[in-house]
Amino acid sequence: MLPLVKPYMAPANELMPEIEKILYSGYIAEGEAAWAFEDGFRTFIANPNTLAVQSGTAALHLALLLLNIGPNDEVISTPMTSEPTNTAIAITGAKVVWADVDPKTGLLDPNSVREKITERTKAIMLVHYAGMVCDMDAFNQLSAETGIPVIEDAAHALGAKYQGKLVGSNSRFTCFSFQAIKHMTTVDGGAIAFRNPEDLTPARKLRWFGLDKKVSRLENDITRAGYKYGINNLTGIIGQINLRHAQEIIDKYIANGRYYDEALKNIPGVTLVPYYAHTEPSYWLYTMKVENRDRFIQLMESIGVVASPLHHRTDTHSVFAASRCELPNMDEWYGKFVHIPCGWWVDEEAREKIADTIKKGW
């Protein structure tokens, strides 16, 4: 079956000797290889104020910690995401407040967010779901107007653009994931990118127990307990080498996504997703709405292709019971959206077969 997600690994002859070198170097903890990856990623997203971390979840948690978010605070978020976006909020003790999505895109609706703001709102959590970028013109305006910081969960959106620039320096925080099935993987890993350089120093400390790496261990004084969220040299070397191929791989996702945007136009039963002004998706998954979704999924299965909605809406979990509310647009979106494979493993022949099969109907 042609899968929906698949990790890309650099060729073994490039990767394995470097992995072996690190493993037997006598230094596998955070060191040169980890920092070189961090530097490479900063260059890649063109934001020098970026830290590599253990996971996308760690990046989200750090963003919330840097805003001192905790019990009695509220964070407005979307149910249309993978669980860690919102469990990261829950572990701070803050309340997740659901805003509704735009039924055309499944992405957080800035008008609904505006209605949910209270004096307790400490952050707005956006998710560039499946590589589609939220309505950043509207969210930038809302954030500037209200002073409420935005955290962009860009776990699915490496390579996506806003105003012609890669996602990663627009909002106060942008969080990336290099988990196994993302555009680029370090097996597990992530990064947090800051708009303000002042966030770097406290974030570095929170990344390493609260210790200051610039001060000797004996003279260090922890003033705020931190976490173990840094990366090691093994993660670093895998990241460095996979990063060399990242643009070429992302370009394949984008080329396939653009192909579907054209090939699937005007097909009865298919509604394509419009992209917001000044945004360019990186198509981690190709997303659309279809009528008779179960039959559509069966049709794809019959030609050896996995199609699925992939993520379960997050607001139905018991841990978020106190946040439950009516989200009519989410209900409408959730009943219809589906993903088809779009990544680097989908070649021209496969994407044409998928499009031709859809055109015939289901």
Ligand X SMILES: Cc1ncc(COP(=O)(O)O)c(C=O)c1O
259 versus 284: smaller Cβ distance to ligand X: 284
Query: How many chain residues bind ligand X (CB under 6 A)?
Result: 14
47 versus 57: smaller Cβ distance to ligand X: 57
125 versus 300: smaller Cβ distance to ligand X: 125
Contact positions with ligand X (CB under 6 A) in 271-310: none
Which segments within the chain are labelled E, that is strand?
A: 50-53, 74-77, 95-98, 121-127, 150-153, 161-162, 165-166, 173-177, 190-194, 270-272, 279-280, 286-290, 337-340
The CA dihedral of 1, 176, 79, 90, to the nearest 10 degrees, is 130
Residue 133 near ligand X by CB under 6 A: no
264 versus 273: smaller Cβ distance to ligand X: 273
Query: One symbol per residue from 20 to 59: x for binding ligand X (CB under 6 A), - otherwise; what is it?
Result: -----------------------------------xxx--
| End-to-end CA gap in the chain | 19
Residue 277: which of 91, 86, 141, 81 has the closest Cα?
141
Tokens 């939220």 belong to residue: 134
Cα–Cα distance list, 307 to 113, 138, 304 (Å): 30, 32, 10
To 5 degrees, how large is the angle CA 183–CA 189–CA 194?
Answer: 90
Q: How far is the CB of 131 from ligand X (least distance, A)?
A: 10
156 versus 205: smaller Cβ distance to ligand X: 156
Q: How far is the CB of 249 from ligand X (least distance, A)?
A: 17
96 versus 127: smaller Cβ distance to ligand X: 127
Which segments within 198-276 are labelled E, that is strand?
A: 270-272
Among 82, 86, 186, 256, contact with ligand X (rule: CB under 6 A): 82
55 versus 235: smaller Cβ distance to ligand X: 55
Residue 132 near ligand X by CB under 6 A: no
Candidates 80-88, 103-111, 211-219, 252-260: pick the segment binding ligand X (CB under 6 A).
80-88
- State which H helix or E strand residue 241 sits in: helix 233-263
Tokens of 275: 């992209």
Q: How far is the CB of 255 from ligand X (least distance, A)?
A: 22
Residue 61 near ligand X by CB under 6 A: no
Q: How far is the CB of 44 from ligand X (least distance, A)?
A: 17
Angle between helices 348-360 and 293-302 (to 10 degrees): 130
86 versus 259: smaller Cβ distance to ligand X: 86
Q: How far is the CB of 10 from ligand X (least distance, A)?
A: 19
Among 50, 105, 121, 177, contact with ligand X (rule: CB under 6 A): 177
Residue 118: which of 63, 159, 72 has the closest Cα?
72
| CB count in 10 Å sphere of residue 226 | 19
Among 101, 108, 155, 191, contact with ligand X (rule: CB under 6 A): 155
Among 50, 92, 143, 179, contact with ligand X (rule: CB under 6 A): 179
Residue 94: which of 330, 325, 322 has the closest Cα?
322
SS3 call for 73: coil
Residue 84 near ligand X by CB under 6 A: yes
264 versus 309: smaller Cβ distance to ligand X: 309
Residue 85 near ligand X by CB under 6 A: yes
Candidates 8-16, 149-157, 264-272, 290-298: pick the segment binding ligand X (CB under 6 A).
149-157
Tokens 């995401």 belong to residue: 81
User: Which DSSP category does 320 fall into?
Assistant: G
Contact residues for ligand X (CB under 6 A)?
A: 55-57, 81-82, 84-85, 127, 153, 155-156, 177, 179, 190
